[in-house]
Amino acid sequence: MTGIGFDTIKRVTADLYDRSLRFIPADSKVALRKADGIETNETARHTLQTMIRSAEAAEQSWRFVCSDSGVPVYVIKVGTQARFSGNVRQAIVEGFADLVASIQPPLLPHVTNPLTLERGHSGRHMPIVTFDMVDDCDFIDITCSPKALGSGRWSAMEIFSFPDLPTIEAYVLDVVRKAGSQPCPPVVVGVGIGGTFDYACKLAKEATLRPIGQPHPEAMVAAMEERLLAAVNRTGFGPMGTGGDSTATAVHVDYAAGHGFTPVAVTFNCWINRRTRARLFNDGRVEIIE
């Protein structure tokens, strides 16, 4: 038993990013078809149908769904029983470098130094990776969720003091209104409430990764998600912002206990909702989840 190897992590993380660019998740396909079935605006229905055709064309030809491949972002859950036989972060960095050198079609240089605005395919802290521990598991669970400009630009966070629910929900809608047509709706909205500055943003990001149609397990939060989804879709922005009922396919909310200061973080995934996921086990097995 050698544990989870360097080469396996390198290969799997590169492959997760590559695959994430070429199809949309199964739950997104279902959500777009559902939206098309209930949309009342004819232009919007047309746009939704073109979205489905576009995703199918990319998957069939194994080409990119979008030219903005974003930057690679990995959310990694590390089982406490997982064992490694090499460096993890370095494996991910090398996997990305190898992918950049070999991927067809090639990637545009989206990795940007925020201080000089120089663009390329590598940089400080790139790929972006977060690690969390999970008790009693002998695997690591890796989700790849690349972030591109269209949806990445419009995330926002504000810290309130002892806010009531209407205040929190009004803020979420305010962020959605400012984003408007720009994050390629219908979007998945992720909302993180409470904890601390950094933790609320992490909760919001991870909320976007939850499968569409799976409500929060707590009834109070699930009801909030339902209210917010209805309110977002009442804005009338519609697919690509040119009008309609389908502005979001889901609003996912999560929260953490905190002090009386309450951060509220809001983030978006565009309609293509890129997401791939795999588990790497101690015995060498690799399970592709999506």
Partner 1 sequence: MAITTHRLTFPLTAESARSLRAGDMVIMSGEIVVTAGLPTHHRLIGCLNGVEPMPMDLNGASVFHLGSYSEEKDGTLQLHYINPTTSTRFNALMPTLISGFNWHAVGGKGGLDRPCVEALRQVGGVYLSFLGGGAALHTQAIRRVIEVGWSDMLMHYRLVRLQVEDMGPVTVAIDAHGVSLYEISGAT
User: What part of residues 146-175 is at the interface with partner 1 (CB under 8 A)?
Assistant: 149-150, 153
CB atoms within 10 A of CB 78: 18
Cα–Cα distance measured from residue 80 to residue 61, given in angstroms and rounded to the nearest whole number: 40
**Tokens describing residue 170:** 């009004």
Nearer to partner 1, 32 or 92 (CB): 32
Note whether 184 binds partner 1 by CB under 8 A: yes
Closest distance of CB 241 from partner 1, Å? 4
Cα–Cα distance measured from residue 48 to residue 36, given in angstroms and rounded to the nearest whole number: 6
Note whether 236 binds partner 1 by CB under 8 A: yes
Note whether 244 binds partner 1 by CB under 8 A: yes
Note whether 106 binds partner 1 by CB under 8 A: yes
Q: Which stretch binds partner 1 (CB under 8 A): 7-15, 44-52, 133-141, 162-170?
A: 44-52
Task: Answer whether the bond into residue 105 is a cis peptide, omega within 30°.
Answer: yes
Question: Quick check: helix, strand or coil at residue 98?
Answer: helix
> Is the CB of residue 14 less than 8 Å from the CB of residue 228?
no
Please select the residue that binds partner 1; options are 89, 177, 259, 285, rule is CB under 8 A.
Answer: 177
Cα–Cα distance measured from residue 222 to residue 20, given in angstroms and rounded to the nearest whole number: 28
Q: Which stretch binds partner 1 (CB under 8 A): 1-9, 12-20, 178-186, 258-266?
A: 178-186
Question: Quick check: helix, strand or coil at residue 39?
Answer: coil
Which positions touch partner 1 (CB under 8 A)? 42-43, 46-47, 50-51, 53-55, 57-58, 61, 63-68, 105-106, 108-109, 119, 149-150, 153, 177, 180-182, 184, 235-238, 240-244, 270-272
